[in-house]
Chain A
């Protein structure tokens, strides 16, 4: 027996309801997934970039620190150089003044001739060793020759003993 019109309508309505229900379920599923992915994606992006920013600024702060240290070290070196230069200048002055004090010695004939005797004697002693020795023993030359040897003593007398020095040969 064929279905009545009413039955057909009922079937159709059932089918329509089914279609609607399926669509609603599907839509709900999509909405739920959307929420999930929203949370995950937002969290991921924030975390990733926070880390980058933290690293970036940490590096920048280290650079600032380093620059400061380098700057201070440079200034200290400059300062040390200044002090050393001042010392050098004092020593030059002292030797210069000593040179100039040598002139009057030649005025004192007695002492000067004794000096020359001794110089000649020393010169001769050195000649025995080799005939090629150039005797350049004027007082000024002596001063120059001795100035390097005398440096440690001069420094100690001028500036006081160096507390940092370990070797005293």
Chain B
């Protein structure tokens, strides 16, 4: 007897399946299937009413045929009829057919909805579950309209069976996803959140998916889930491996649910309530500790489940990004996994580290693993893992290791899998640009990139290298030399020819002095590639040739010869023909001066976000980047396309070649009045005589950007956020004071007695130099007699990507309230930048800590009992009330933190003396946190009333 002797006796089905499996060819299989379809069709259409069993059998056959990839266009009605059967088997197969085969637009939905309605009100849990499954599977709008009101009621009703509750939760989630407007949680919210407390773990498992989704959409309404989730997690984590019985999976208590709880917490910032937060931190620590314990089982499932929780815990730690201690532990744990023998763990560790690398606390720690990661890139057998390694290298790259990382990525590119080459190329191009300290390195890198993986170098990449070479005259000669050398290779990529043509056309003169790269040699080299190139590249080369005529008059006759040849001037491609004709004419009729003007060196490109970055974001999928950014990327790409790639020739001719444009001279004027050219500073390398300058067309442009008028401008008023920036530095001396798209200002400072020294670091974040960079430090108004500030002069020029340092000496003469002002002015491109900030010099910087015993403290406290000597503030906590953090801040303030002084151990007391040249001001501080109310009371007493007041103001912003 073959495989058909089965319990449920659907013999016909088994025979059919066996037949199909015995078919020797695809044709035979199709034939058998068509025969069966015809048979079923006739049965369904036949006069004889089919019984439920037969219907079930035929529907099963249809399902099987469907799975094999054949279209099923009938049987739906029969399936719907099965829904109303009273027999479980028939009902169930009907629902199965519908969930597999009926799409959400089907016209049958109304009939199906009726059957579902009956089953939902049947109070038979099995039938209810079947109906809920069906809704969740189809999930159409009609279904949402019919059931969105009913399902929350089933979900929270006291008498609903657990299994039905589980199904109802996920069913509701599905409807919420398809039609959020129809699912109104309102009154149910709190009861749904409390499902996290349900006794049945299965209910919690199902409900947590629902709650996570709802929390993401309405975080405020579901905020209460945080504390419930923490306590649930805490109970699971601290339970013994046997406590949860069936929910223990290979000795790990409820791993799935733990992961989901940790995910839910990632929808929210760290809990504000100190107790909840403490409990959570404890959980996270326990999870990290468990990772170090010996495994309870050798089975891979055990370590899998344990690590699933561990990775989610690490994600949460990274998400909070506020617990340095946990972050370091997480980083170490991931470091261990990087070398683990399980490939899965190496993969996940690389992936998690990518997010960790962007946290300022752990960036340095991540960087220590660079060798391991490079090794992974070289030796991993699995492309998925290698790709993650490449991602991580990209994420951990900074100025200090850019050269190493870029070199490694380049060498990996030579053997990289085809599927990831394009992305790798973009990444190398971005890193090379972002961290280029010297631009000859950048040019080398990009040219190498084109050499190694030319096919994968997109337009954006080579546009970009040209933009940068045009904008930076210090690299132009090097670039010309390097492309010239690269073009010597017998076979070079077309992209290399494009870059070569463009750069030699612009800057070939810079290397023409060497007889080995004389103008004619350059031209012959370029022209030797001409016939191998596609039409757009040839067009670009023609433009390079006409530029050659301008740069090197001695090549004129040779080039005219080439342009005049039939293969150019009669080329079948309209674009090439037109260029050849126009360039030939231009070179023969225009005077040297006109030619020089028309073919002038390209003006610098305006600086914007790299178009390559936009491209990478686009590649990473729509989720990673907002529509705006994409639009910008597109616009930029377009502009480069028109303005960058093609401008290699010259605007007039290109414009002329774009269909019917006016005569070149009219166009030239248009060009002259164009904002870009008139705003461009005269390039140092420009050899060209400006014929139109007499007409005064571009004089205005130069005048309006003339430097002298700018320097005399007044200092800008302080930035609105400068007070906030100041507050950041009350309790610390080092850090980043200010950062925008152009400039970063870092601070290091040290104080002793009444003296201080501050180092300011101005970093140029762009690739263009800042010129006429000046800074002034001033003490406005009353501050002048109290504070003496001397700033050493600073370099007037900051190269792109470079940093300069300025030293400021400070002397405190008397106590003060205001902060000195720092004004910075410089030119970037042509535009004047002018900004003012407050220098973070505050009175507390001149504190000397004073240790004293409890007795002394209270004695002095009493001595300072006059009302004006005390300042007090009661305020709400704006950060988590973490004891360690508060202590760190108070120490940063500069006072001595006194232990065992206050009778209440929760309170903090400090003492210190402010050193000014004129006098010393003793100060005492008391900070009383109230964790329940999330409030603080801060009291300061000092011998000078203004000091108490000022300290109180400053400190109230810190906690």
**Chains A and B are bound partners:** no
Residues on B lying within 8 angstroms of A by beta carbon are: none
